[in-house]
């Protein structure tokens, strides 16, 4: 797989239509997603880019909470975007949906908050690097970049649990995350050691949330 191809939202063996059910059942979504919203700390009038928005769950949650905030959802999967649009239309929410990869994030404009959730573990290493770089490029100076994903699986039980994700998404793309790719790459980007601001054990491995501000220059 290259950095311009993608693993579908629900993995290699299931349709995108079951993605929301799987996330709810297998990731303790009811805990980590509200925590991600809290960590984002959105202010009225801000612009938010959801990178790898998938079926739109996070973008819709944000728009419901802050109706006046401009939300743009970016994802390469037309099937997932179709589901996202249908969900937003049913809730009468005005969200802009764009088709594109994480590495295209900077092409969407400049944003106060740039966020991704459960994206980079499905992406090849070159795409991980390009996507993270593009997220920071899309954030305005002083803006916030947040990533929620399977990162380093530091304990044996969580490494075993993560094997389910590796089964459905493939080991080549997921193993770097389990080995600490996000921690290492974000530390390189910031010039200092970066650790999750929140982490939660789930039936499919530890999900971590990272938050970084974009510095001058």
Domain harbouring 161, CATH code: 3.40.50.150
Mean pLDDT of the chain: 92
Q: Report the distance separating Cα 157 and Cα 185, nearest Å.
A: 24
84, 87, 88, 91: CA torsion to nearest 10: -170
pLDDT at site 22: 87
Q: Work out the end-to-end distance of the chain between its first and last CA atoms, rounded to an integer number of angstroms.
A: 33
Assess if residue 2 is contained within a domain.
no
Lowest mean pLDDT segment, chosen from 7-11, 67-71, 136-140, 176-180: 7-11
Cα(50)–Cα(201) distance, integer angstroms: 23
What is the number of other CB atoms lying within 10 angstroms of the CB of residue 168?
18
Residue 5 clears pLDDT 90, i.e. is over it: no
182 within a domain of the structure (yes/no): yes
In a domain, 3, yes or no: no
pLDDT of 82:
96
Residue 159 lies in a domain: yes
Q: Can you tell me the distance from the alpha carbon of 40 to that of 36, in angstroms, rounded to the nearest whole number? A: 6
What is the per-residue pLDDT across 72-117, written as a single tens digit (0 to 9) for each? 999 999 999 999 999 999 999 999 999 999 999 999 999 999 999 9
Q: Give residue 12's pLDDT.
A: 53
The answer to the question of residue 4 being in a domain is no
Range of the domain at 190: 16-213
pLDDT at residue 179 greater than cutoff 80: yes
**Average pLDDT of the residues in 26-52:** 96
Q: Is residue 81 part of a domain?
A: yes
CA distances from 66 to 8, 9, 43, 45, 104 (A): 29, 26, 8, 9, 25
Instruction: Please give the radius of gyration of the chain, using alpha carbons only, rounded to the nearest integer.
Output: 16
Q: How many domains does the chain have?
A: 1
In a domain, 8, yes or no: no
Is the residue at 11 inside a domain?
A: no
Q: How confident is the model at residue 6 (pLDDT cuts 50, 70, 90)?
A: low
């Amino acid at each position: 797989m290259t950095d311009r191809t993608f693993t579908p939202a629900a993995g290699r063996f299931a349709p995108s239509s079951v993605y929301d059910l799987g996330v709810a059942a297998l990731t303790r979504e009811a805990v980590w997603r509200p925590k991600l919203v809290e960590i984002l700390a959105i202010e009225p009038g801000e612009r938010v880019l959801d990178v790898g928005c998938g079926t739109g769950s996070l973008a819709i949650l944000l728009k419901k909470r802050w109706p006046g905030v401009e939300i743009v959802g970016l994802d390469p999967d037309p099937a997932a975007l179709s589901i996202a649009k249908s969900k937003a239309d049913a809730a009468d929410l005005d969200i802009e949906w764009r088709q594109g990869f994480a590495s295209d994030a900077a092409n969407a404009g400049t944003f106060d908050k740039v966020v991704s959730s459960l994206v980079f573990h499905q992406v090849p290493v070159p795409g991980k690097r390009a996507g993270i770089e593009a997220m920071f490029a899309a954030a305005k100076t002083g803006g916030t970049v947040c990533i929620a994903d399977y990162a380093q699986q530091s304990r044996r039980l969580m490494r075993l649990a993560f094997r389910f994700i590796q089964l459905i998404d493939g080991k080549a793309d997921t193993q770097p995350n389990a080995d600490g790719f996000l921690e290492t790459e974000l530390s390189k980007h910031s010039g200092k050691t970066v650790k999750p601001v929140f982490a939660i054990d789930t039936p499919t491995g530890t999900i971590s949330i990272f938050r970084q501000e974009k510095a001058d220059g």
